[in-house]
Structure 1
Amino acid sequence: MNSTQQWQNVTWFDVDEHQAGQRIDNFLFSRLKGVPKSRIYRLIREGQVRVNKKRIKAETKLNIGDQIRVAPIRYEQKDETEAPVSNTVAQSLLKRVVYEDEGLLVVNKPSGIAVHGGSGMSYGLIEAMRAATGKKYLELIHRIDRDTSGLVMISKKRSTLKTLQDLLREHKIQKTYAAIVKGQVALDRQLIDAPLHRYELANGERRVRVSSEGKPSQTVWQVVERFKGATLVHASPLSGRTHQIRVHGLSIGHPLVGDDKYGHQTPYVGPTPRRLCLHAMRLEIPGYPTIEAHLPEDMQGLVAQLRAEQNAS
C-alpha cells in the first residue's frame, strides 16, 4: 500500500458538548490521522497547537466552544485510488440528505456508521460526505452515537458552524429522539432530572452514570405508545450530555431496547432488535424550518411486531 507525505494547511476544530472535558492530546490523536503521537506532542510543546489563541499543555482539558488551531503539519496520506470511502457508500449517503442550504447540510445517518473515523473505523459520516460532495470544508456541528440513527448537522461554512454551535451551547436548538424502551412507562409525560458523570473503563471506553458529582442533565419523556413489554417514547434532551437519553432511561428503570452498554441485564421479552433503538427524529433550529426524519424501517418493523403482540394478548 503506497502512501505519500503531504502538507496539511492550518486546521481548525470547534469543541462541542460531547468533547468537553477531553484532553487536547487525546482529542488530536483521534482527528489527525497519519500523524504520529510523538509529532502531536511536539506540536503542543512548540506552541503550534493553540486553544482560543493560547498555548496549552498536553493535559489541558477542553471546554465547549473552544476553538483549536493546529499549524500546518506533514502527515501520511494514502493514494486517492486507495480512498476507503466507496462510491456506493458515498452516493447512498447523498440520498440521505434531508436538508441543505448555503451553509447547512443535514443528513439522516444510518445506524452503524460513526460520525467520524477513529477507534478502529477508517472513515465516518463526515469523511464520507467530504468524499461524496467533493467539498473540502465540511465540519460536524454536533455528534450522535454510532449505533443511533437520525439527523446530524454538518456545516458548509465556518460562520454557520459558529452560529449553530452557539445556539446548541445556549440550548436554543430542540432535538427530539424516538426511542423504544423496556417495560411500560407509567407517566405520559415526565421530566427526568438527574446529573450525569462521565468516566472511562480500564480499556478507555467511555461510560456515563447518574452521580451527584455529575453535570446537571434534564430530558423530557413523552409516551407515544405502550406495548406489552416495551414503550415507544419521544425524548427531548434539555442538555447535551454523552449517552444522556440512554442513561436517563436506565435511571428510571426503562433502558433502551438493544442497548448493549446500559441496562442490558434488564429483562425484555419482546421481538429481538437489530440494534440500539434510538433515532434522532426532529431538529427545531431558530430561523430554519423544522427538519424531520421518519422512523427507520428496522424500528418501524419492531414497533409493528410489538403492536401485533399487544393486540394478540
Structure 2
Amino acid sequence: MATAEGGEPPSVLWGLDPVFCAFARLYVKDVLRMRESYQVPGIYFYNSRPIYKVDVLGTVVYKREREDFYCYGVDDGTGVINCLCWKNEQWRETDAPDKVNDPVMAVQIAWMMEVPQLYRQCYDKPFQLQPSDATGSSTVSSIARAAHILKEFIKAKAVAKFRVYDVQDLLQPLISSQPPATSTDQEPGAGPSAGQQLRKLLREVLRVLQDEGTVFCKVKSQDEVYYVTEQDKDLLMAIKDIIRDDSRRDKYAEKGCHILHVLSAVRQRYSPNVSREALELVLKALECNSEIISTSDSYYTMFS
C-alpha cells in the first residue's frame, strides 16, 4: 500500500480502517506517546493506524474547574492523562454529570482484561487493506479514485454545497469499469447491481471526505446537503466572529482562543456537525490569508 510523508497511509484511506471510526481503547502511556499526523493536524498514529478518538478508563486523581470546562486527571495504572470536559448551555441547565461509581473496580478490571486482546487482535497489527476481487482491483483504489474525482470537481467548479444526486454521475465510470461480482452460490454476473455498487461507493467516499474535514453536513436529514468546508463563507465568518469577539475578553486577550473553545462555540452558534478536522482547514486558510494568527500551539487571535 502506498504511503504518504513519514510512512503514513494516505489520508483518503483512513476511513477504511474500522479503528479510525471507533473510540480506540488504549493505555494512557500509548496515548501520550502517539505521534501526530504529518498530513492532518489532530490525527495521531498508534503504529500505522490513524486514531482521532480514544476511550480510556482509570481513577480520577484530580479535578479542576474553569469557566468553560472541567479538567480531570485520569490514571489507568500506566500513566496519567488530562481530560477536558467542556461545558455547554444544556449542561448549565442540569446538574453536573455523575462520575462512574465502581467501588470494587469491577468495571476497570473487565476493561483492563479486554484491552490486551484488542491490542493483540487489532491495534498491534499493521493497517492493511486487501484486494476485493480476483482482478486485483481493490476497494481502496476505487475509493481513492472517487475521492480524487470529487475533490477535482469541487475545485474546478468552486462548489459550495451539493447533494448526493449532484455528484453520483461523476463516479459512474468507476462502477461500469468493474466486472460484476460472482460467488460459488450464484450464477455468473449475480451480485450487487451497478446502482447498489454506486450508492455504496458514494457512502464510503463521502464518509472519507467528512473524516478529512473536506465536507460536512450542516443539518442531518434524509436528503443531506454536503457543504464544502473551505467554500462555506458563513462558516468562515462565524469562526472569524468568534475569534474576534472572544479575543477581546480578558481571559483570551493574551494567548487568544484555544481551538477547542472555538470548536465548542462554532457547534453552538453555527452547526453541531462541524468536526475538528473541518475547523482546522478553515483556521489554516484564515491564517494563510493573514486574517488570524496562531499565538502558540492551538491558540488563535485576530491579525492586527
Tell me whether the two structures share a fold, i.e. TM-score over 0.5.
no
| Larger-Rg structure | 2
More strand by share: 1
TM-score by length of 2: 0.24
